Structure 1
Amino acid sequence: MLTVHQFPCLSDNYGFLLHNSVTGETAAIDTPDAKEYLRQAELKGWKITHIWNTHWHPDHAGGNAEIVEATGARVLAPKEVEKLSKIDRVVGHRDSVNLGEHQAQIVDVSGHTNGHIAYHIVEEGIAFVGDAVFALGCGRMFEGQPKQFWNSLDRIRRMSTETTLYCAHEYTEANAKFAVHADPDNAALQAYVSEIKDKRSRGEPTVPTVLKRELETNPFLRADDPAMMAKWGGSEPHETFAALRAAKDNF
């Protein structure tokens, strides 16, 4: 059985520990704050045995070395993480990794960075997507190109609609403001925004999210919708996506 333990860390990151209760193995999904990861693992009575990085940014891989030193965990990551730490196994698109009998498929979701990957555990209906996609948003396009990033988002869109997406940041309120600006006539979005406001007013997380809802409301996942293309321009979805991303950057 797999258990996901989610906890806040740094200013707006979420940390995730993925635990296999049969084998006792525990994977740290990214390492924004080594001390908090080690503290949370100790509170749960777990030992971190693996680190699964999504991309190289310091708020995702900056704690690798400290956690490895404390636990001896093996680091599985895209090659770009070598900028920050040693990697025991470089993984990329269509590879798979295991936590005991459970297997995660590696999905190329590059665009935010050129080596960004997601970990998709199909049998459990969960995906750890890092900064590729957020509730009502997506990551900034720091390194990639619009067509590349749109193709990455499309890989996420093609997962089962019931997939639970574990995004790495609590950005949803800010994303919601832009989403309403981008897609003001979307009734499903209006209902979602109301729920988000209620959750945040109570200090509750808006992560994880479910793909089905994001497909209905997240403007970046709807760049192929004819109404969005008409409003934001572009003869191809990646062009509409580029227009949306540029608008969000300056919103």
Structure 2
Amino acid sequence: MTVEIEQFTCRSDNFGILMRDTATGTVALVDAPEETPILAAIARTGWTPSLLLVTHHHADHVEANLALKERFGLRIVGPKAEAGKIPGIDEEVAGGDTLTFGAQTVRVIDTPGHTAGHVSYHLPDAGVAFTADTLFALGCGRLFEAGPEVMFASLAKLAALPGATKVYCGHEYTLSNARFALSVDPDNAALQARAREIEALRAQDRPTLPTTIAEELATNPFLRAADPGIRRQLGMESGTDAAVFAELRRRKDSF
């Protein structure tokens, strides 16, 4: 069972996602950053959504909720822990819950850190995950509403997904993330090669997503806190993985 995915830019660097289950023709949106580009994607594809999966409450992910609900009669699903901040929410979900999307099962994964109730959505049969502002290509989200130990645990859940899982993130941050990653993991040949690919893609104004879990495990420093090279670079050979992660996030905040 497969899904078709239309990824497109919203606002300045957000990604919008329109997703169609091929078995049933059912269509969903993942987050609603901006109405106009979402409507353009719907017109371009001819896919009319009946479901909106919301990852977290930040305005750049829910701005168009009510307008789209009024236009399409969407069922809006979002994190229970942030339900009071999700405009138009119809169904509250938390980690361990499952949803039906056409012929697909959608697993909800609690991934707090960027916000206190952030969730990610995993479609195991289709081999895709939507991680919004928790896991980025070569990075992770800023810690606005929880500490580093919380985000570290959230990333571990995502890192445990099958390596071939395609990961769709909330923003096009990969080029700046690559530059930071090279500063803390300079001898990583896989990272060096990936950074060159990213430079070429962005020079052509092409997206760097989706990524995969396997690619992130090989190159994303926030998933590599146990790596001896990164630990040497930070001078934290004897630190815990969680402490190394916290130092990486601290450095990225001021990079």
Query: 2:149 and 2:228 mapped to 1: Cα distance?
Result: 18
Extract unaligned runs of 5+ from structure 2: none
2:122 partner amino acid: H
Deviations for 1:14-38, whole angstroms, at most 9, x for unmatched residues? Answer: 1101112343321110000122212
Contact kept in structure 1, 2:69 and 2:88, CA below 8 Å: no
Contact kept in structure 1, 2:121 and 2:130, CA below 8 Å: yes
- Counterpart of 1:231 in structure 2 is 233
Contact kept in structure 1, 2:114 and 2:143, CA below 8 Å: yes
- Counterpart of 2:252 in structure 1 is 248
Shift of 1:82: 2.6
- Counterpart of 2:193 in structure 1 is 191
Shift of 1:201: 1.2
Q: Which of these residues, 221, 224, 232, is aligned with residue 223 of structure 2?
A: 221
- Counterpart of 2:60 in structure 1 is 59
Shift of 1:81: 4.4
Deviations for 1:119-144, whole angstroms, at most 9, x for unmatched residues? Answer: 10111111000011111111101111
Query: 2:242 and 2:223 mapped to 1: Cα distance?
Result: 10
Q: Secondary structure at the match of 2:121?
A: strand
| RMSD, aligned α-carbons | 1.3
1:222 partner amino acid: R
Contact kept in structure 2, 1:229 and 1:237, CA below 8 Å: no
Aligned residues: 251
Contact kept in structure 2, 1:130 and 1:166, CA below 8 Å: yes
Extract unaligned runs of 5+ from structure 1: none
Query: 1:47 and 1:82 mapped to 2: Cα distance?
Result: 27
Q: Percent identity?
A: 41
| TM-score for the superposition, normalised by structure 1 | 0.96
**Which ranges of 4 or more aligned residues in structure 1 deviate by more than 4 Å?**
none
Q: Secondary structure at the match of 2:176?
A: helix
Shift of 1:9: 1.2
Deviations for 1:196-217, whole angstroms, at most 9, x for unmatched residues? Answer: 1111111111011111111111
Contact kept in structure 2, 1:61 and 1:81, CA below 8 Å: no
Shift of 1:227: 3.1
The equivalences for 1:1-251 within 5 A come to 1-79=2-80, 80-232=82-234, 233=236, 235-251=239-255
